[in-house]
Amino acid sequence: MKLFSGGIDYHVTVHQNKNELPYLLMMHGFMGSGEVFLPITDQTKPFCNPVTIDLIGHGKTTGTADPERYRTDKQVGDIQSILDRLRLSPLLMYGYSMGGRLALNVALEHHDQFSGLILESTTCGIEPDKKRRERAELDEQRAEAIVEDFSDFLRQWQAKPLFDNKTGSAEYRKNYEKLMMKQNPVYMSASLRGFGSGSMNPVCDRLQSLHLPVLLLAGSEDKKFTGIHRKMENKIPNVTSKTIPGAAHRVHLDQSGRVVKKIENFIKHLNL
């Protein structure tokens, strides 16, 4: 379905609508779409109603060349507007990487609307100003590279050690690559400038106020984010943190079966 918010047509899919089950809103990472969760959406249907959304500028959702439209507050407002109309209850959120940063911000602003939050390979932001400026500069370089030669950027992006894992389905990995190739380079560039890790204000000092149940998922091969999650774990009051063996950054792709089991156990223990 299409839902209009702030001049953007959002593509949202409710994969199942069983009244006795909770809903799980799933938000993808940079250059992804709701399709990246195909390895797990069908597997989650026995215990929840999966709902996927293409974030601004990604997949089948429209975008803009203006980075300001991708800012945290604008996207949080969009998600809230969409949820107000969908009226899904009980509702949990699942966010991967960039989508996890957005899900975290939504939860911090509207925590009373959610029964739980699952974050995969996610950061609460970059706190030291110097490091955040350095990341903003890197994001700017990448944003320029995207519009200059998108194919070359994709080759370099895919070669990052962060994604170097062959344990997931070869079919889904190939589909992931095809999906990225279909993205609009201008929108991807604007997304990096407006909502990259370097431009997002960190919310790490607000994690203590996040009182809903939280599950953190990171891959054992992703040393950077397992470390980030350890720091976040110390600040979130009601948190469970799991490291998934044999997975890198894209845990839902590398170890879909194990991820589904963690989601199922998390939801079942909520007694919704």
55-94 pLDDT, tens digit each: 999 999 999 999 999 999 999 999 999 999 999 999 999 9
Where do the structural domains in the chain lie, given as residue ranges?
2-268
Residue 60: CB atoms within 10 Å: 15
Is 248:221 a contact under the CB 8 Å cutoff?
yes
Considering the segment(s) 2-268 as one domain, its CATH architecture is 3-Layer(aba) Sandwich (3.40)
Is 95:27 a contact under the CB 8 Å cutoff?
yes
Helix (H) or strand (E) segment spanning residue 119: strand 116-120
Which of 87, 88, 59, 73 minimizes the C-alpha distance to 6?
73
Q: What's the predicted TM-score (pTM) here?
A: 0.96
Give the pLDDT confidence of 210-259 residue by residue, as tens digits. 989 999 999 999 999 999 999 999 999 999 999 999 999 999 999 999 99
153: Cβ contacts below 8 Å, ≥ 6 apart: 142, 145, 146
Is 179:54 a contact under the CB 8 Å cutoff?
no
